[in-house]
Amino acid sequence: MYEDLRSYLSFLEGQGQLLHVHQEVSPEFEIAAGIRKTSDIAGPALLFEKVRGYAGWRVLGGLFATRKLVALGLGIPEDQLLERYLTLEERRIEPELVQSGPVKEIRWTGNDIDLYRLPIVTHSEKDVGPYITIGIQIGKDPNTGVRNVSVHRMLLMGKDRLSLWAPPDHHLGRMILKAEDQGKGLEVATAIGVEPAIIVGSQAKVPMGVDEFYVAGGLRGAPVKLTRCETIDVEAPAFAEIIIEGVTVPNERIADGPYGEYPGTYSESKQAPVLKVTAITMRRDPIYQTALTGMPVTENHTLIEYANSAVIYREVKKIVPEVKAVYMTPGGTFRHHVVVSIKKRSQEEARNVILALLSLGLGLKQVIVVDDDIDVHNPVEVEWALSTRMQPDRDVIIIPRLACSTLDPSVPAPRVSAGWGIDATIPLAGREKFAKVIVPGVDRVNYISSKN
């Protein structure tokens, strides 16, 4: 695997999946516009070489703009991503503590700390300001000392102040509240510009108490190398481009938002914890990384897809041993809608699948269950199953008011959503009348191809 982001970028370049942008760009909207476009055309990751007002900085964006880029980051063929991710996510490798690393080449402490010298990007039209969007936050549980690794957006509030959007239904948010119960702030390190396995590993849906650096180690097949921070008792990746050290200010909250979020809508202004920055360390010639979210598909969707799909796959497998495929759909923001195909052996098992998935609290709003002869990745086939195998009065289940982590603007109250499921599987008795019409010999037609 890759020692650091730079060695991965060299690899991507060799694959034709990294474009150097030499034209000067502003961190306000222009970098995000490039990422938007490359996401929409399934293009390469972008390395902006010249950022207006930030001499000496380069900005990386769209590193996970497509599934292909996620697959390259993990060194897995794209069509085997979920299957291989399921195994790799469970292979835990302990991180290694090293004395120092390139991220210590430059150290800003005291009066030298100045977040305005970082090329923090403003992304979407109505965003309240510039946000750090792909910082890897590392904190320790105040009760157990176990590390947590996750990604939360941070709004630039001052030369040494950031918001930290970590709500209580996320592990870091809960740790901030636990520290406040003890009258303390929570020490948090934010690493920017790390190799892909660390970013993907930070998104794993593992229980609180599992250090995601162990998951990242498993994904990369080698320990993540960590080094101690300068001003806080936290360890962070030694080969990162930048580390921002800080402490949350107990019981202080600040207005955060609007911000263009993963549903493709703006999350309104909400009260978020505040981080007081205590040091910034970085490499010489640092690469600042940003990530776009908003209308699907962006890197905020591709990065969450496999972590969520793995949870769903394992849950369905508990009910139906023969799970064929799980697909979180792009229009469903890779969070709200899922299609599951199963080999059904018991008449009503699709209904159990629907109830189990809606009750997970993952943010699922719509669950469609189809038979194993339907390709879940093909929206026409899925709709065909709905149109020929399903009766709404019999096969639709609606569950009102479930606890649910979601930014869906249609919900009746925060962290609440209804859910619905559709059983589009064929009844076990009388399957013949539902069989697909097939013309024999299509696979032997060699005088035309789909390339024509």
Q: Tell me the closest approach of the beta carbon of residue 171 to Mn ion, in angstroms.
A: 4
Nearer to Mn ion, 206 or 282 (CB): 206
Nearer to Mn ion, 173 or 263 (CB): 173
Nearer to Mn ion, 147 or 344 (CB): 147
- Nearest Cα residue to 82 out of 362, 288, 309: 309
What 3-state DSSP class applies to 367?
A: strand
User: What angle (nearest 5°) sits at the alpha carbon of residue 137, between those of residues 134 and 141?
Assistant: 160
Q: Taking phi first (over 0 means left), then psi (-120 to 50 degrees means alpha), and beta for anything else, what does residue 242 get?
A: beta
Nearer to Mn ion, 138 or 272 (CB): 138
Q: Tell me the closest approach of the beta carbon of residue 150 to Mn ion, in angstroms.
A: 6
List 232's β-bridge partners, or say none: none
Q: Kindly give, in sequence order, each residue whose CB lies less than 8 Å from that of residue 24, ignoring residues fewer than 6 positions away.
A: 50, 51, 52
List 108's β-bridge partners, or say none: 280
- Per-residue burial over 255-278, b if 16 or more Cβ lie within 10 Å, else e, is ebbbbbbbbbbbbeebebbbbbbb
Query: How many other CB atoms are there within 10 angstroms of residue 432's CB atom?
Result: 6
Nearer to Mn ion, 220 or 283 (CB): 220
Closest residue to Mn ion, judged by C-beta, is 171
Instruction: Give Rg (Cα) of the chain.
Output: 23
- Nearest Cα residue to 315 out of 354, 263, 265: 354
Nearer to Mn ion, 170 or 283 (CB): 170
Q: Tell me the closest approach of the beta carbon of residue 175 to Mn ion, in angstroms.
A: 9
Nearer to Mn ion, 153 or 171 (CB): 171
DSSP 315: H
What 3-state DSSP class applies to 305?
A: helix
Q: Tell me the closest approach of the beta carbon of residue 172 to Mn ion, in angstroms.
A: 8
Q: Tell me the closest approach of the beta carbon of residue 184 to Mn ion, in angstroms.
A: 20
- Binding site residues, Mn ion, CB under 5 A: 148, 171
List 158's β-bridge partners, or say none: 161
